[in-house]
Amino acid sequence: MKMPEFSLIKWQRQFGTEEACAEALTRVRWPDGFICPVCAGKAYSYITSRQIYQCSHCQHQTSVTSGTIFHSTNLPLVKWFWAIYLSASDKGGISALRLSKQIATTWLLLTVSCKDPYGYGAQRQHLST
Ligand SMILES: [Zn+2]
């Protein structure tokens, strides 16, 4: 079965804003809804002005990019998504199936590569937010 392809134009329509990219990352990071990285609580408040999730149980604040290379580089998500597209595409197009796998794989690799080898990341993150 031939899968539909994403052109760069279609990609830009779908992921052309920071909000659209953040929504896509949210679906990958928390496919079943927000989960607090500190207490695993699922209830939260969303602080729109700062694009921050605040756990209703422990008050921990986090963003969809916290603990990932997306956060530490301060590069706009739109540019990260261009890089994902360009790294995943060949001959001008990419299947929707391959693209979804590429985003998930890229996400996992970037998240794993940013993990603190000593396990202090969650504490530092908590203190810095
Ligand atoms: Zn919590």
Q: What is the pLDDT of residues 36-57, one digit of tens each?
A: 999 999 999 999 888 899 999 9
Q: Are 62 and 128 in contact (CB under 8 A)?
A: no
Mean pLDDT of 12-39: 91
- Say if 40 falls within a structural domain: no
Distance from the alpha carbon of residue 122 to the mean position of ligand 1, in angstroms: 11
Distance from the alpha carbon of residue 52 to the mean position of ligand 1, in angstroms: 13
Measure the N-to-C terminal CA separation of the chain; round to a whole number of Å: 47
Distance from the alpha carbon of residue 109 to the mean position of ligand 1, in angstroms: 25
> Is the model more confident about 39 or about 121?
39
Q: Burial code of 29-39, b = ≥16 C-beta within 10 A, e = fewer?
A: beeeebbbbbe
122: pLDDT strictly greater than 50 = no
Q: Are 54 and 60 in contact (CB under 8 A)?
A: yes
Q: Is the pTM of this model over 0.75?
A: no
Q: How many domains does the chain have?
A: 1
Domain range for residue 109?
5-32+67-128
- Say if 118 falls within a structural domain: yes
- Say if 51 falls within a structural domain: no
Tell me the three state secondary structure of residue 40: coil
- Say if 13 falls within a structural domain: yes
Distance from the alpha carbon of residue 58 to the mean position of ligand 1, in angstroms: 4
